[in-house]
């Protein structure tokens, strides 16, 4: 049996519920910039890749010159209430503590800026759980490119079969496939179950309890003993 030694977590929609704040900022930006209302849902479905990449997929090439101003406006709106509009997934804090006690390594691979992630982690008192944060600030290639996975494996000197990636979008699951690691799709985030199924995750989690099962079902006998002791 494969022994899980490293967990690679997505952030938004996986560890925390930030969708309401993100979508509110999207809606305000769309309206302020004069785009059609239909763009709100189109933009929502692109949550999970870097903001600039989202806009390049949404806009006509002739509007690309507007991207810096759109990004600046969106971030001003979003950052104004980021802590108030970001809540931990219920039960996630206890699960992270249990994972740490089992001796597993944990990292974050996100399309969110590192500074925002750090701010939220400190607010939740979760920063100490994670050995690294792989965000666009420190990456050359973004989801679904496997750079985050490759760097996480290299940091801890682990083979791909020792890692499990956990995420709520097809971008996360495709990154796992590209990096040769197993994946667990959580269904409390942005993408629907149908969308997630298209990326063929190895495990499913409809609840924190099911996520725990996916993680701990692949531990070694020694790790399991450590948890129960």
Query: Looking at residues 117-138, what average pLDDT do you find?
Result: 97
Task: Tell me how many degrees the CA angle 122-123-126 measures, rounded to the nearest 5.
Answer: 50
More confident residue, 114 or 223: 114
Please give the C-alpha separations between residue 148 and each of 28, 44, 108, in angstroms, as whole numbers: 31, 23, 9
Using DSSP's 3-state secondary structure scheme, residue 48 falls into: coil
Residue 51 confidence (pLDDT) above 50: yes
| 34-38, 178-182, 218-222, range with the lowest pLDDT | 218-222
Q: Which pLDDT value is given to residue 218?
A: 73
Give, as one character, the DSSP assignment of residue 138: T
- Note the pLDDT tens digit of each residue in 52-72: 999 999 999 999 999 999 999
Helix %, strand %, coil % of the chain (to 5): 50, 15, 35
Residue 222 confidence (pLDDT) above 70: no
Q: What values do phi and psi take at 206, rounded to 5?
A: -95, -5
Residue 221 confidence (pLDDT) above 60: no
Residue 69: CB partners within 8 Å, gap ≥ 6? none
Residue 228 confidence (pLDDT) above 90: no
Give residue 173's pLDDT band: very low, low, confident or very high (50, 70, 90): very high
- Note the pLDDT tens digit of each residue in 129-161: 999 999 999 999 999 999 999 999 999 999 999
Q: Which pLDDT value is given to residue 225?
A: 45
Q: Which pLDDT value is given to residue 1?
A: 53
Continuous segment of H or E residues that includes residue 143? none
Q: Which pLDDT value is given to residue 3?
A: 87
DSSP 42-64: HHHTTBTB-HHHHHHHHS-GGGG
Give residue 220's pLDDT band: very low, low, confident or very high (50, 70, 90): low
Q: Which pLDDT value is given to residue 166?
A: 99
Q: How much is the mean pLDDT over the chain? A: 94
- Note the pLDDT tens digit of each residue in 88-109: 999 999 999 999 999 999 999 9
Percent of the chain exceeding pLDDT 90 equals: 92
């Amino acid at each position: 049996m494969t022994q899980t030694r490293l967990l690679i977590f997505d952030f938004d929609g996986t560890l925390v519920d930030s969708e309401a704040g993100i979508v509110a900022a999207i809606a305000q930006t769309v309206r302020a910039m004069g785009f059609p209302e239909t763009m709100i849902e189109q933009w929502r479905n692109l949550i999970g890749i870097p903001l600039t990449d989202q806009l390049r997929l949404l806009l006509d090439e002739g509007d690309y010159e507007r991207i810096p101003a759109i990004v600046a406006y969106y971030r001003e709106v979003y950052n104004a209430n980021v802590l108030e509009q970001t809540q931990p997934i219920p039960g996630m804090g206890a699960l992270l503590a249990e994972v740490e006690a089992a001796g597993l390594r944990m990292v974050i691979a996100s399309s969110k800026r590192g500074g925002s992630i750090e701010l939220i982690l400190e607010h939740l008192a979760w920063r100490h759980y994670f050995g690294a944060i792989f965000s666009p600030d420190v990456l050359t290639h973004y989801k679904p490119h496997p750079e985050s996975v490759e760097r996480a494996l290299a940091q801890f000197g682990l083979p791909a079969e020792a890692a499990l990636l956990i995420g709520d979008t097809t971008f996360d699951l495709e990154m796992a496939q590209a990096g040769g690691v197993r994946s667990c799709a959580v269904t409390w985030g942005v993408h629907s179950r149908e969308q997630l199924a298209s990326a063929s995750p190895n495990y499913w989690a409809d609840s924190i309890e099911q996520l725990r099962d996916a993680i701990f079902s692949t531990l070694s006998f020694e790790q399991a003993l450590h948890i129960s002791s």
